[in-house]
Amino acid sequence: MVKVSNKALTTANEKVQNKQTLYSTLKGVSAAFIGVQSDKNRQDDFTQGKISHFIIAGIVCTGIFIAALLAVVSMVIPSS
């Protein structure tokens, strides 16, 4: 049996907990997108997340937002 110290176990748990998931990245981007992100969550995003993930998620969310606006406008204003 291998004996593991509490410090090594705590460090391993912190690495797992500090990893930014796809869900948490999208949650952070969507909260920032509509302006309701808390300061704690924003700080967590800056310390744990990768900037490239947030840029890609922001571009995707912006594309979805523009597509939704175009769909609503095309339904409200019928084309001739």
Q: pTM to 2 decimals? A: 0.63
pLDDT > 90? residue 71: yes
Determine phi and psi for 18, rounding to 5 degrees: -80, -10
Identify the pLDDT of residue 1: 60
Domain annotation covers residue 53: yes
Domain annotation covers residue 5: no
Task: Quote the CA–CA distance of 25 and 72 in Å, as a whole number.
Answer: 27
Q: Which helix (H) or strand (E) holds 24?
A: helix 22-34
pLDDT > 60? residue 80: yes
Cα-based torsion angle of the residue sequence 26, 31, 37, 43 in order, rounded to the nearest 10 degrees = 20
Identify the pLDDT of residue 27: 87
Q: Which domain holds residue 47?
A: 16-76
pLDDT, tens only, 4-59: 565 554 554 454 455 678 888 888 888 888 888 888 888 888 888 888 888 999 99
Question: For the chain, how many structural domains are there in total?
Answer: 1
Domain annotation covers residue 38: yes
Domain annotation covers residue 10: no
Domain annotation covers residue 20: yes
Calculate the CA 79 to chain-centre distance.
37
